[in-house]
Amino acid sequence: MIPLFVAALGHLGAQEEEFTDLIELSLGYGFGFPSVSGLWLDTGSSGITQGVITDDLIHRVFIQRQLAERIFLDLDYDSDRQGGLFQGQNVYSLQYQGLEDEFLQEISAGNRDLSIPDTRLISIDQGNASSYALRTRMGTDRLRIEGLLRYSQALSGTKRFRGNSQLVETELLDVGYVKRRFFFLPDSEVDEDSLLLFRSSEAAADRTIDGKDFTLLVRGGDYAFNNTTGWIYLNRALYGEEELAVYY
C-alpha cells in the first residue's frame, strides 16, 4: 500500500481564552499490488487494492473547555501514543467544581486524578496506564472528606510449591496498616529542634534506654511529623518486638 495523507486541523472555537480545542484528522488514500519473491504477478486489475485508509483517521484531539457552569472537560489524545484512546499517556477527565462555600467541592472522573494528595492513613499509588477513577472532595472548614473509587489492572503472580500439599493462608486486616505506625504526642506546637525519635535495634546503638539499644530515626526519611496536631507518621510499622522512644 502506498498511502497519501492530508491533515485537517479544526479549531472548535473556545468560549474563553484559557480554553483550547484542537482536532487533527489524517485523511488517507492508498493503493498497491501483490508480489512474490520480487516477481510481479500477471493478475491484471483484480490484484490491485485501493481505498480510504481509516486506521488513523483521528490523529490528535486536544480539548480543554468549560461545558457548562462549573463542569469542565479535559481531553488530550494522540494516536502516536500506544494504548489507544483510554490507555497509555492519553488523558481524559470530566470535572465538576463546586462553589467555595458548598459542601460538595469537586467530582472528577477519568484517568487524570488517580490518587488523593497527602494521603497518609491509606497509601494510594499513582495507578498505571490502565487505571480509571472517580474522585470526590467535600467538606467544611473543620471537616474534610475525600474519596476515591479506582479500577486498575494489577500485576498477577504465581507461586509454585513442591512436596506435600500444604494450605497457605494470608490475612491482612485494614487496621494492620495503621497499627504501630501512627503515634500521637500529648502536646502540640513543641520545639521541633528538640524532637528526637529512637527505635529499638540490635544494630549499632545511638542510645541505650533501660538496658536496650535504640537507633536514632531521621525526620523525612524514617518518619514525618505534624507539629500542629502532634501526629507522628513512621514510614514503616514497628515490628512485633520493636519499641519507639520519643524525646522533646
* 178-229 tens-digit pLDDT: 678 888 888 878 888 899 999 998 777 888 888 889 999 999 889 988 888 8
Instruction: Note the pLDDT of residue 88.
Output: 63
Identify whether the C-beta of residue 45 lies closer than 8 Å to the C-beta of residue 56. no
Q: What is the largest CA-CA distance in the chain?
A: 97
Instruction: Note the pLDDT of residue 7.
Output: 42
Tally the domains of the chain. 3
The yes-or-no verdict on residue 13 having pLDDT over 50 is: no
Query: Residue 186 and residue 248: Cα distance in Å, rounded?
Result: 11
115 or 177: which carries more pLDDT confidence? 115
Same-domain check for residues 59 and 96: no
Residue 183 is placed in which grid cell? 503515634
DSSP 69: T
Percent of the chain with pLDDT over 90: 14
Q: What is the mean pLDDT of residues 88-99?
A: 86
The yes-or-no verdict on residue 54 having pLDDT over 60 is: no
240 or 20: which carries more pLDDT confidence? 240
Instruction: Note the pLDDT of residue 135.
Output: 92
Q: Is 44 helix (H, G, I), strand (E, B) or coil?
A: helix
Which single residue is written with the C-alpha cell 457552569?
69
* Domain-embedded: residue 106: yes
Report CA dihedral (118, 122, 123, 124) to the nearest 10 degrees: -80
Q: Which of 9, 7, 129 is nearest to 62 (CA)?
A: 9
Report the DSSP pairing between strands 58-68 and 49-53. Answer: unpaired
Query: Residue 60 and residue 67: Cα distance in Å, rounded?
Result: 20
Other Cβ atoms less than 10 A from the Cβ of 127: the count is: 18
pTM over 0.85: no
Same-domain check for residues 188 and 134: no
* Domain-embedded: residue 228: yes
Same-domain check for residues 5 and 80: no
Q: What is the mean pLDDT of residues 43-49?
A: 48
